């Protein structure tokens, strides 16, 4: 190579100018050729798109139906016709539960009700109300989770009872982030909707009492019952305390509702092995009822000659008292009685 090109030596010598000019001309010509080829390809693509669209529009109604369908599919695939929002004929899957919730199509509301047990409208209203308490500051190292994602995970976990360790959904969150999300959403809901859980007063109280009276229960405020909320096995307490009669780890939630299922009182936290009687005896509901701060209406006489004040209804798990009316059990009675 050095013998063929005697001018190529060490010592910092430069190439002759004629070689530099020839190389530059070659580069320019190559660029012009590629640019012309790109224009030709774009023109051919536009011509093909117009031809496909024209074939679809000109196809006869009866003879060329099959061919028109094929041409239409080809036109949509090539981008001639805009692709509308798909209507599902089967459930589509994307990047997990959170990504599926973000998809907007004709089954969005159904998916929200299935996963979060609420409509998308209620979810958006809840998120908007809690967002100021869930905002996180953007740092140099990471971008924080958005309030919509945090609220969606907390609602999903409450709706499904899924534990932190057995997380089968995909929200793009680690275990520590999931635990913190549930705690933060709980605190924000109590802060925003704390006044929603309260005993009825004023006009609302008269409406509730009248509704129960029409059902045959004068002076009745609502009904009480307990349910189990399943939790992870406690690490710092004897596990048998949380082992309930359904052979799962849980805590008990005592809830009082009115005739429209509005929540009037909630008492949560006792271990799953506790009996309903024990829970209501330890609750603030029992304390306020015994102090006379809840049921202060005029006494009435119920069918059968029973004279009582205001009260709530309970099942046979509760003992009868002055403010809890339970059904008769194991007694043959007439339906009117």
pLDDT tens digits, one per residue of 25-71: 777 777 788 888 878 887 777 777 777 666 656 655 544 555 656 66
- The percentage of residues in the chain with a pLDDT greater than 90, rounded to a whole number, is 9
Tell me what the pLDDT averaged over the chain comes to. 76
pLDDT band at 218 (very low <50, low <70, confident <90, very high): confident
Higher pLDDT, 54 or 135: 135
Span 103-112, average pLDDT: 75
Angle subtended at Cα 277 by Cα 289 and Cα 261, rounded to the nearest 5 degrees: 65
Q: Which residues contact 147 (CB under 8 A, 6 or more apart)?
A: 127, 130, 131, 134, 135
pLDDT tens-place string over residues 283-321: 888 888 888 888 877 777 776 677 778 889 998 888 888
Q: How many helices (H) and strands (E) does the chain have?
A: 10, 7
Cα separation, 148 vs 236, in Å, equals 33
DSSP 31-87: HHHHHHHHHHHHHHHHHHHHHHHHHHHH--SSTTHHHHHHHHHHHHHHTSSPPPPPP
Are residue 133 and residue 231 in the same domain, yes or no? no
Q: Write phi, then psi, for 330 (nearest 5 degrees).
A: 55, 35
Are residue 110 and residue 161 in the same domain, yes or no? yes
Are residue 300 and residue 228 in the same domain, yes or no? yes
pTM over 0.75: no
Query: Domain containing 311: what range?
Result: 202-325
User: Does residue 214 contact residue 220 with C-beta atoms inside 8 Å?
Assistant: no
Higher pLDDT, 81 or 245: 245
User: Does residue 295 contact residue 309 with C-beta atoms inside 8 Å?
Assistant: yes
Say yes or no to pLDDT of 336 above 60.
yes
pLDDT band at 223 (very low <50, low <70, confident <90, very high): very high
At residue 137, the pLDDT reads: 56
Q: How far apart are the first and last CA of the chain?
A: 117
Cα separation, 259 vs 212, in Å, equals 7
Are residue 315 and residue 209 in the same domain, yes or no? yes
User: In this structure, what token pair is assigned to residue 158?
Assistant: 């409450």
Residue 251 included in any domain = yes
Q: For 315, which DSSP code?
A: -
Say yes or no to pLDDT of 13 above 50.
yes
Are residue 246 and residue 266 in the same domain, yes or no? yes
Residue bearing tokens 């949509």: 76
Please say which residue of 193, 220, 236 terminates a domain: 193
User: In this structure, what token pair is assigned to residue 106?
Assistant: 């004709």
Residue 49 included in any domain = no
Please say which residue of 167, 193, 219 terminates a domain: 193
Give CA separation, 233 vs 151, 186, 242, 248, in Å: 24, 20, 8, 9
Residue closest to 182 by CA, chosen among 204, 163, 208, 201: 163
Are residue 246 and residue 291 in the same domain, yes or no? yes
Please say which residue of 193, 216, 247 terminates a domain: 193
Number of domains present in the structure of the chain:
2
Are residue 113 and residue 189 in the same domain, yes or no? yes
At residue 317, the pLDDT reads: 83
Are residue 207 and residue 319 in the same domain, yes or no? yes
Are residue 272 and residue 180 in the same domain, yes or no? no
């Amino acid at each position: 190579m050095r013998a063929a090109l005697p001018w190529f030596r060490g010592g910092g010598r430069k190439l002759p100018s004629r070689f530099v000019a020839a190389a530059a001309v070659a580069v320019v010509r190559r660029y012009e050729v590629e640019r012309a080829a790109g224009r030709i390809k774009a023109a051919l693509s536009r011509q093909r798109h117009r031809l496909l669209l024209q074939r679809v529009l000109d196809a006869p109604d009866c003879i060329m139906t099959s061919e028109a369908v094929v041409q239409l599919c080809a036109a949509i695939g090539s981008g001639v016709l805009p692709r509308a929002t798909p209507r599902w004929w089967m459930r589509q899957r994307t990047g997990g539960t959170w990504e599926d919730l973000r998809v907007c199509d004709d089954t969005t509301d159904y998916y929200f009700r299935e996963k979060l047990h609420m409509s998308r409208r209620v979810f958006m209203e809840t998120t908007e109300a809690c967002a100021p308490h869930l905002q996180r500051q953007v740092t140099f190292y990471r971008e924080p989770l958005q309030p919509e994602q945090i609220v969606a995970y907390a609602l999903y976990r409450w709706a499904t009872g899924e534990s932190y360790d057995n997380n089968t959904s995909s929200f793009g969150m680690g275990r520590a982030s999931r635990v913190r999300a549930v705690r933060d959403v709980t605190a924000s809901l109590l802060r925003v909707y704390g006044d929603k859980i309260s005993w009825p007063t004023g006009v609302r109280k008269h409406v509730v009492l009248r509704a129960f009276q029409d059902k045959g229960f004068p002076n009745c405020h609502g009904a009480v019952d307990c349910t189990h909320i399943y939790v992870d096995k406690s690490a710092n307490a004897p596990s048998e305390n949380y082992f309930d009669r359904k052979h799962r780890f849980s805590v008990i939630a005592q809830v009082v509702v009115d005739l429209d299922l509005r929540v009037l009182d909630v008492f949560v936290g006792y271990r799953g092995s506790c009996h309903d009687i024990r829970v209501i005896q330890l609750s603030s509901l029992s304390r306020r009822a015994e102090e006379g701060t809840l049921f202060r209406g005029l006494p009435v006489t119920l069918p059968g000659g029973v004279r009582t004040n205001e009260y709530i209804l309970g099942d046979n798990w509760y003992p009868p008292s002055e403010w809890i009316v339970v059904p008769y059990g194991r007694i043959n009675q007439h339906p009117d009685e």
